[in-house]
Amino acid sequence: MRWILVLAQVLDVLAQWITRDSEALRSPGFCPCSKTDLCRPVSADLQHQLEVVVFDEGEMDYQHYDWPKITAIVFSDNSKEQILCIAHENKVRVILQGKITMKVLRNGNSQEQWLKRTLNVVKVLNMDGIYLEMSGAVVPGGPEYKALSRLIKKITVLLHSEVPGSQVIMNVPWFPDCPHGRCYDFVTIAKSCDFLFVMSFNVQDQMWDECFAKANAPYDQIFTGLADYIGLGIDSRKLLMGIPWFGYDYPCMKLLEPGRCRIQKSSHGSAPCSSLIATPILYKDIVRLLPVSITGRYWDDDDKSPYFVYKVNNTYHEVWYDDPESISLRSSITVKLKLGGVGVLNGNNLNYSVNPIATMQTEEMWNALSPVRRKRRIWNI
């Protein structure tokens, strides 16, 4: 069976957490790369001063990534098989996406099956670890609260033992005060796994004050959110700051002036307004739209974010996004707070065409991830 078919089947199993016997998985050993060495996990001796984790959503853009700047790439279920080969050729870890469901947390047998299957999938596909998201709210004091922490510890110990050099990354909200019921034992989980991926964006999914279009990742708020994690006693080097290569297109109920786009009320949780009424827009589409806007690029000094206004069908739209200037400012937070690195959503969001303007814009976005980390080998003597 071709490797890509195995990939699709195995990832489908992983996504649904089907509890069938492990014989359903193909044993490790099959290699789709031209050199078998490229199917071996990246050596545990390869460590980084600063992690740059890039999420990939499939297609062929990965061929044009700035690989020397990447330390790990998070695989989606529709990524091409060759991404493993090019990643390992560049000494970049390949991390598999996975989910933890409430069913798994509530049932001891399901947890053991989950652990077994997760390990098998990582080994079968020659991966270097797993990126985990929790599906469902977790309440402090509830049985799932402690079960989640125990499960993260078990999978980390298991993977580190069976796949030396592997990484376990756990997705967490942009601040630790239980947004949307996501109340995890952040301190315990951080001690167990390799990194917490802090989603330092989508800050406006709950707006508590005025209902106006706002920055996706306002500087002060994401700085405070990360500092709050550190304030809990979490080692700052365990934190990866999320970097959004996308923005939000808000339709204005009324445009008072640029930067004052009143939006429709749409409650989310107990908040009266939300960015959910906006349309997500990729950076490569943002730079195509900006030249035909009616305002050109504006800059918000408070949130340290750019925005612009355009009009279509008699409706004004205000687009808030991040570009090389705002991302460079956010990347500097890694130095100020001594973070472990950054995580980029998504590598596919840039324009990798041969157009010289697009090439320059894309290069600037990759360079904005500086301070650039350098790969280095640490040898145990």
CB 284 within 8 A of CB 352: no
Q: What is the mean pLDDT of the chain?
A: 89
CATH 1.10.510 holds for 3-198+351-377? no
Contacts from 352-361 at CB under 8 Å and sequence distance 24+? Answer: 352/61, 352/63, 352/64, 358/284, 358/287, 361/287
Residue with tokens 């307004």: 273
Task: Note the pLDDT tens digit of each residue in 5-34.
Answer: 444 444 454 444 333 333 334 455 688 899
CA distance 316 to 251: 6
Kindly report the pTM of this predicted structure: 0.89
Q: Helices 143-162 and 108-124 sit at what angle, rounded to 10 degrees? A: 30
CB 174 within 8 A of CB 242: yes
CB 342 within 8 A of CB 366: no
CA distance 116 to 21: 10
Positive or negative torsion for Cα 171, 331, 302, 253 = negative
Model confidence at 294: pLDDT above 60: yes
Out of 13-27, 79-93, 166-180, 365-379, which region has the weakest mean confidence (pLDDT)? 13-27
Out of 173-177, 184-188, 206-210, which region has the weakest mean confidence (pLDDT)? 206-210
Task: Note the pLDDT tens digit of each residue in 316-326.
Answer: 999 999 999 99
For the record, the structure tokens of 10 come out as 């195995």
44 Cβ contact list (under 8 Å, min separation 6): 164, 165
Where are the domains positioned within the chain?
Answer: 3-198+351-377
Residue-by-residue DSSP string for 118-150: HHHHHHHTT--EEEEEEES-B-TTSHHHHHHHH
